[in-house]
């Protein structure tokens, strides 16, 4: 399993997509490591509870749903399904018209 403690996050790349994985209240959440406002990496931001704050302008997103919770961002970010397989965290990237590439953390 990823060496990821409670309230921590780690960045990685799955099928050409920059992915951010975090653990909150014992559950893992995966999302695109890219703010919807001005394409800043969220992995350099701050995780507080279920919200991640963008380091550039302070926009916030709910890691459970990708919903934007604070301006200046207004659009959601992509989130990805997470499963636990053999002690690893498996993130599945679902893209229309393609298979379902996965990555392990
Ligand atoms: S780039 Fe993230 S809030 Fe502006």
Confidence of residue 50 (pLDDT cuts 50, 70, 90): very high
Residue 69 buriedness (CB in 10 A; 0-12 / 13-18 / 19+): middle
- CATH 2.102.10.10 fits domain 9-104: yes
Q: Ligand 1 center to residue 76 CA distance, Å? A: 12
Q: What is the pTM of this model?
A: 0.90
User: Atom 1, ligand 1: which residue's CA is nearest?
Assistant: 38
> pLDDT, tens digit, for every residue of 60-82?
999 999 999 999 999 999 999 99
Q: Ligand 1 center to residue 87 CA distance, Å? A: 34
What number is the average pLDDT over the span 4-13?
94
Name the one residue in this structure whose structure tokens are 């959440």.
Answer: 29
Q: Report the nearest atom of ligand 1 relative to the CA of 59.
A: 3
| Chain center to CA of 5 | 15
| pLDDT > 70 in the chain, percent | 92
Q: Ligand 1 center to residue 65 CA distance, Å? A: 18
């Amino acid at each position: 399993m990823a060496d990821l403690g409670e309230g921590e996050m780690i960045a990685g790349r799955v099928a050409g997509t920059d992915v951010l994985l975090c653990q909150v209240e014992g559950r893992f959440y995966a999302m695109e490591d890219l703010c919807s406002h001005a394409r800043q990496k969220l992995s350099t931001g701050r995780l507080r509870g279920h919200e991640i704050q963008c380091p550039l302008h302070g926009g916030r997103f709910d890691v459970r749903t990708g919903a934007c919770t604070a301006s200046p961002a207004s659009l959601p970010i992509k989130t990805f399904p997470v499963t636990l397989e053999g002690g690893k965290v498996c993130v599945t990237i679902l893209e229309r018209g393609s298979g379902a590439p996965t990555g392990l953390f």
